[in-house]
Structure formats: C-alpha cells, structure tokens
C-alpha cells in the first residue's frame, strides 16, 4: 500500500547559502530540555565545522521555558541569538522577535516546501517571525501484536478506543496511557475531548462555548478512562513517564504527539519498536488533532542575527531535517523530507502523520494563551482526580476564561 502524502511538491531549490556570515560567531540558543535537544546535540557540531561558528545551548525544563523566554525577550537582554518558539506563544513573543521576511525573500528561502499549515505557525499578523522546524499533531499509537491477539480493530473514535482498552486492561498491561497530572498536556487532553465531542473553546464572539451537555459528557468520558483503563499511578505520571510506560510495553496504546514516534524506534529502553502501529488521530463527533509546531525565532535584540539566520537555513535543509528525525527528536515540516522514500521507509508513522496533517486544528492562540491553557489544565486535572465533577469544573473554567477574555478586550 502506497503511503499517503500531505501535498505533492517539486524538488525545492535550496536557499542561498552564506556560511561565512556565521564564521567566528558564538550563537547562544535557548531551547526546551528534552529529547528534542538531545537529538539536536548529536549532529549540531556539523554546523560548527561548516561555518567556524560555535553553538552554546541553554536547555531549560518544559515548565520553566516560557517564563524564561518572557523575561529574556521582554527584558531585551541580548542574551540569546536563537530560541525555540512553541506556536501558542507567537502572539506574546512576536513583538520581541526579528521579522524574518527580509531574510526569506533575500535568500529565496524555499518556504513553498513547507506544509502550509505548519509554516503558518511562525506567522503573526501577516509577518513571519519564526521558521517551523518540528510540526506536531497527535496520532494514535498502538501495539499491533496485542490488537491482533485480542481481535481488536484499530479505532477511529474515542468511544471505540475505550472498548479496546477494556479488552487489554490487566495486571501486566494497562489498556491506555494518558496524562492526568496538573500539566499543560492535561489541558490539551481536555481541549481534545471537548472539541471532538462537538464544542469549541470560544465562539466567534470570544465567549467560552463548552459549558453544555456535550462538554459534560466529554469530561465524564475522560474521567471514566482515567479511572478504569489506565496504569496504576497514572495521576502522578509526567510526560516522560507516560511515554516510557508505552515504550516499555506497559500500555496497549496512547494518543500522543507524533514527534515521539521516532524515539519509539530509537530509544534504548524501547521494547515495542517492531510491535507498534500508527493511525490518524481519534475523534468522536468530530475528528481532528491539535496542531503543535516548534519554530526557530531570532530575538530582536540579538547581536548576531545574520549568523543566527545561517543556522536556521542549515538546520532546516532536507539533509539536516532528516538527521533531526533520525535522531529521535521529532518530525519535519518539509515536503522534501515527508515525501522522501527514505522517510517513508524508515518510519512507520509516516502515513498516519500525513493523514492527521489534513485534519490539524489550531488551538486558541491569544497573548493570554498561558492563562487559557492553565484554566483548561486545572479543569482537566480536577476532573481526573475527582476534586470536582465535570460540570462544576467546566463552569469554573468557563468563568475564568470569560474573565481572561474581558481583561484582554475581546469580550465587552
């Protein structure tokens, strides 16, 4: 069966290369301390060898990265030349980042080779402030061998997934693994359930729009799944622990960011590398996945912007992007990579990734994103722990979001 392709594309022309612009530079890079950084570190020296520049990475823990970025960017410290930007923070960070359109146009940067919905993550108010390098959607990741043994059909709906999980759940293996701890991923889970059950977080007038029966049913489902088909201790699992649970053969499936798929194959602790299957994201009344994109941004107060741009160009070449993927760090937004026989033969998740790109959905992106996600996170974690009923948690979150929207001037 031929693997699905996101978009057909001609082989792109490379951007104009000027490695001499980076010679002698010491580029300081602020980024997320994670498997992404670990992957980048395995081949970053190639840029140093090519250009004569030095790369100094400052990896920061997930929970601390946004606050450090806000302090350094808004404070105009000039401390960093590059930073990774998670897409929801683009509205808040854009005024502190360099506009990249002059670079894109001047070097004939091949942005047409990016999946359009992924390139768009670095654009705000019609201007390019960052270049996408790791496109993410959530896909369904499951044990092929277990599904075959138990006669389970790959689900397309969450309700079907729950029935599959009940057949798998046992002393040796949980049916499903999913975040429930108070963390951004729990807020994203809540968003996913609310919206696939047919709601939106905000209506077209910026009013919270999920305080209704569909919303209550969605979070009742979330609670039921956490209580009945998850591993023991799931309420204390962070992102790394959840992924390890699956890699180590302790859970039948999960819906998770596709960027972890290469790591399932390459991680030393993985016992399921050849037993894992992939499918497009689940839905219920609606079927979609939140879009999540990491991009490279250049702080406006950076002292070595030309050299930093050379790094971005090098990092996003098809050759470097393939190394990024093979390192287990994530995926690539470039069609030249996604459509390549090498990628599609090397990574079993390629067709699922391509199919889910077609149903990628933007999250609520406002300058107040941190507050919005925090409200959803608290709502989801309260439901999962039983601290609040789905109805009460939704009413509380809806009230908080109304206040956020009023304070931001969206609601009158």
Quick one: pLDDT band at residue 7, thresholds 50, 70, 90?
very low
Instruction: State yes or no: pLDDT of 6 exceeds 70.
Output: no
For residue 387, the SS3 value is: coil
Instruction: Tell me: pLDDT of 10 over 50.
Output: no
Q: What are residue 28's DSSP bridge partners?
A: 56
| 378 Cβ contact partners less than 8 Å away, ≥ 6 residues apart | 182, 187, 393, 396, 397
Beta-bridge partners for 360: 289
Q: What share of the chain is helix, strand, coil (3-state, %, to 5)?
A: 45, 15, 35
pLDDT band at 364 (very low <50, low <70, confident <90, very high): confident
pLDDT given at position 374 = 94
User: b/e map of 278-310 (b: 16 or more CB within 10 Å)?
Assistant: bbbbbbbeebbbbbbbbbbbbbbbbebbebbbb
| 17 confidence band (pLDDT: 50, 70, 90) | low
Q: Tell me the pLDDT of the chain averaged across its residues.
A: 94
| Helix locations, 89-212, DSSP H | 90-93, 101-106, 116-119, 144-149, 158-168, 184-196
Backbone angles phi, psi at 231, to 5 degrees: -70, 155
Encode pLDDT of 321-356 as tens digits: 999 999 989 999 999 999 999 999 989 999 999 899
Q: Is there a contact between 363 and 83 (Cβ–Cβ < 8 Å)?
A: no
For residue 293, what pLDDT is reported? 96
Instruction: Provide, rounded to the nearest whole percent, the portion of the chain with pLDDT above 90.
Output: 88
**Average pLDDT of 31-40?**
94
- Tell me: the pLDDT tens digits for 373-403? 999 999 999 999 999 999 999 999 999 999 9
pLDDT at residue 2 tops 50: no
pLDDT per position as a tens digit, 69-80: 999 999 999 999
pLDDT mean over 349-370: 91
pLDDT band, very low/low/confident/very high, at 11 (cuts 50, 70, 90): low
Distance CA(163)–CA(327), nearest Å, equals 35
* CATH dotted code for 138-290+366-407: 3.40.190.10
CATH number belonging to the domain at 19-135+292-354, selected among 3.40.50.970, 3.90.228.20, 3.40.190.10, 3.40.640.10: 3.40.190.10
Handedness of CA 398, 219, 279, 176 (dihedral sign): positive
Nearest C-alpha neighbor of 121 from the set 392, 360, 370: 360
Reported residue count of the chain is: 412
Tell me: pLDDT of 219 over 70: yes
**How many other CB atoms sit within 10 Å of the CB of residue 266?**
16
Taking residue 128's Cβ as centre, other Cβ atoms within 10 Å add up to 24
Longest CA pairwise span in the chain (Å)? 61
**What's the whole-number mean pLDDT along residues 123-149?**
97
Confidence at residue 8, expressed as pLDDT on a 0 to 100 scale: 43
C-alpha 402/C-alpha 257 separation (Å) is 29
Average pLDDT over residues 293-318: 97
Residue 238's pLDDT is 93
**Structure tokens of 329?**
């760090």
Q: What's the rounded mean pLDDT across residues 116-138? A: 96
Domain with CATH 3.40.190.10 in the chain: 19-135+292-354, 138-290+366-407
Residue 292 has pLDDT above 60, yes or no: yes
Q: Count other Cβ atoms within 10 Å, centred on residue 12.
A: 17
Nearest to 210 by CA among 390, 77, 373: 390
Please state which of the ranges 9-13, 45-49, 94-98, 336-340 shows the lowest mean pLDDT: 9-13
Q: Of 25-29, 248-252, 264-268, 316-320, which range is least confident?
A: 264-268
Rounded CA gap, 321 and 333, in Å? 9
Contacts 24+ apart (CB under 8 A), 10-16: 11/336, 12/110, 12/112, 12/113, 12/318, 12/334, 12/335, 12/336, 13/108, 13/110, 14/110, 14/317, 15/107, 15/108, 15/109, 15/110, 15/313, 16/106, 16/107, 16/108
316: left (phi over 0), alpha (psi -120 to 50) or beta: alpha
- pLDDT given for residue 148 in this prediction: 98
**Neighbour tally for 197: CB within 10 Å:** 24
Residue 62's pLDDT is: 86
Report the predicted TM-score, pTM, of the whole model to 2 decimal places.
Answer: 0.82
pLDDT at 28 over 90: yes
Q: What pLDDT score was predicted for residue 370?
A: 86
- pLDDT of the residue at 16: 61
Q: What's the whole-number mean pLDDT along residues 29-49?
A: 96
Alpha-carbon distance of 37 to 249, in angstroms, equals 25
Give me the long-range contacts of 23-26 (CB less than 8 A, separation at least 24): 23/51, 23/52, 23/53, 24/52, 24/53, 25/51, 25/53, 25/54, 25/81, 25/304, 25/307, 25/308, 26/53, 26/54, 26/56, 26/304
């Amino acid at each position: 069966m031929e693997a699905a392709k996101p978009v057909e594309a001609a082989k792109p022309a490379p951007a104009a290369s000027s490695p001499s612009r980076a010679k002698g530079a010491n580029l300081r890079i602020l980024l997320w301390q994670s498997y992404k950084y670990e992957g980048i570190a395995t081949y970053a020296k190639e840029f140093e060898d090519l250009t004569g520049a030095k790369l100094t990475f400052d990896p920061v823990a997930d929970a601390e990265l946004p606050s450090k970025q806000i302090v350094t960017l808004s404070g105009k410290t000039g401390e960093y030349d590059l930073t990774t930007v998670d897409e929801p923070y683009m509205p808040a960070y854009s005024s502190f980042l360099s506009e990249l359109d002059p670079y894109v146009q001047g070097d004939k940067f091949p942005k047409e080779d990016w999946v359009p919905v992924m390139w768009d993550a670095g654009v705000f108010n019609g201007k390019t402030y960052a270049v996408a390098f790791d496109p993410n959607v959530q896909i369904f990741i499951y044990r092929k061998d277990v599904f075959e043994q138990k006669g389970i059909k790959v689900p397309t709906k969450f309700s079907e997934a729950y029935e599959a999980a009940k057949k798998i759940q046992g002393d040796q293996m949980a049916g499903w693994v999913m975040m429930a701890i108070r963390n951004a991923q729990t807020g994203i889970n809540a968003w996913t359930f609310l919206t696939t059950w047919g709601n939106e977080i905000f209506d077209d007038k910026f009013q919270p729009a999920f305080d209704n029966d569909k919303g209550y049913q969605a979070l009742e489902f979330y609670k039921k799944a956490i209580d009945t088909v998850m591993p023991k201790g799931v309420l204390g699992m962070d992102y790394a622990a959840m992924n390890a649970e699956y890699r180590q053969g302790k859970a039948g499936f999960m819906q998770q960011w596709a960027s972890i798929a290469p790591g399932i194959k390459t991680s030393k602790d993985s016992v399921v590398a050849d037993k894992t299957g992939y499918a497009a994201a689940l839905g219920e009344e609606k079927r979609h996945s939140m879009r999540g994109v990491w991009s490279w941004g250049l702080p406006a107060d950076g002292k070595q912007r030309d050299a930093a741009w050379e790094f971005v160009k090098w990092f996003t070449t098809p050759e470097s992007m393939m190394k990024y993927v093979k390192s287990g760090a994530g995926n690539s937004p470039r069609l030249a990579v996604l459509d390549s026989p090498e990628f599609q033969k090397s990574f079993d998740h390629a067709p699922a990734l391509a199919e889910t790109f077609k149903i990628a959905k933007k999250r609520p992106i406002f300058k107040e994103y941190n507050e919005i996600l925090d409200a959803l996170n608290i709502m989801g974690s309260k439901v999962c722990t039983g601290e609040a009923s789905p109805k009460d948690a939704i009413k509380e979150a809806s009230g908080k979001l109304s206040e956020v929207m009023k304070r931001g001037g969206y609601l009158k």
